[in-house]
Amino acid sequence: MMDTSGPNTTAYILCTTPRSGSTLLYRMLHATGVAGKPKSWFHRPPLEDWATRMQIPHNGMPETQWLKEIVDAAVLKGRADTDVFGLRLQGHALDFFFQKLALLFPESPTDLDRITCAFGPTKFIYLTRTDKVAQAVSLVKAEQSGLWHKNEDGSDLERSPSQEPETNKDGYDAKALSDAVQKLQSYDAAWRSWFALASVQPLTLTYETLARAPQRALKQVLGHIGLPPEAARNVTADTMKLSDKENEAWIARYRKEMGAA
């Protein structure tokens, strides 16, 4: 198995899925001041979306040159004036991300080689959520309301235009939840498949352990990527947990209707 955890590591990737606690973890990592800024620099297709995030206009340049400028800009942003590049990569972005790296580095034979070409020696953190029903409820509610994250003080951190539920006045939608469960399971399966194919052994964390002891999880990640765990000493969680009584009611109702334990 290839060892990507040596002392020369210059990058790390948070390998995750929506509503898994990755925003909490990336903000804490950034707050250490030593671990870059692992945002979703390559969030989703198309390439124009990447370019907009990086503010790199096309200007008629060949795609490979445009792609290189986008990736180079992302590396600068992801380093955030530190020595380490951080990236959060969601399961839905996986295929397109690797397609573009293959275009940029056609001489490199594997995904892992291309990642190294782009970012240097890289470590991987796999952040997953054990309770897929709870994760699906969180996802569907965020999609409906447009509210994705709140700051610790209760103010909005991330809000997009809401999509009002059409099925039920209270928003509960069993089909939407089932679709979300299947989608989230497929994203996790894609990550596990890639780890096996690439012979990568990531540091595995769960949403549940992160939510229970965020600073302890942060120290684990810092140690894994070769940074001093003591950098976590003064870092605290700065996002508010959104799960409420309605989440609990939806979870219980869905499990009952689906006969789930």
Note whether residue 4 is domain-resident.
Answer: no
Q: Look at residue 159 in the predicted model and tell me its pLDDT.
A: 62
Q: How many CB atoms lie within 10 A of CB 260?
A: 11
Note whether residue 230 is domain-resident.
Answer: yes
Tens digit of each residue's pLDDT (9 = 90 or more) over 40-75: 999 888 999 999 999 999 988 999 999 999 999 999
Q: Look at residue 186 in the predicted model and tell me its pLDDT.
A: 97
Distance of CA 54 to the CA centre of its chain: 18
User: Where do we find the tokens 């765990």?
Assistant: 229
Give, in order, the Cα–Cα distances in Å from 59 to each of 42, 51, 63, 135. 20, 11, 10, 41
Domain that includes residue 139, residue range? 11-258
Q: Which helix or strand (DSSP H or E) is residue 136 part of?
A: helix 132-145
Note whether residue 200 is domain-resident.
Answer: yes
Angle 94-95-96 from CA coordinates, rounded to 5°: 95
Note whether residue 93 is domain-resident.
Answer: yes
Note whether residue 211 is domain-resident.
Answer: yes
Q: Look at residue 165 in the predicted model and tell me its pLDDT.
A: 44
Note whether residue 2 is domain-resident.
Answer: no
Q: Look at residue 118 in the predicted model and tell me its pLDDT.
A: 96
With b for 16 or more beta-carbon neighbours within 10 A and e for fewer, the 147-180 pattern comes to bbebeeeeeebeeeeeeebeeeeebbbeebbeeb
Q: Look at residue 7 in the predicted model and tell me its pLDDT.
A: 42
How many domains in the chain? Answer: 1
CATH classification of the domain holding 174? 3.40.50.300
Intervals of the chain under pLDDT 50: 1-7, 164-168, 261
Within 13 A of 124's CA, how many CA atoms are on the CB side? 23
Q: What are phi and psi of 206, to 5 degrees?
A: -115, 155
What is the token pair recorded at 72?
């180079």
CA atoms of 50 and 74, how far apart (whole Å): 9
Note whether residue 238 is domain-resident.
Answer: yes
CA atoms of 187 and 17, how far apart (whole Å): 7
DSSP state of 232: G
Give, in order, the Cα–Cα distances in Å from 224 to each of 22, 116, 174, 202. 16, 17, 39, 9
Q: Write the CB contacts of 155 (distance below 8 Å, at least 6 apart in sequence).
A: none
Angle at which helices 47-54 and 63-79 cross, to 10°? 50
Note whether residue 5 is domain-resident.
Answer: no
The pTM assigned to this predicted structure is: 0.87
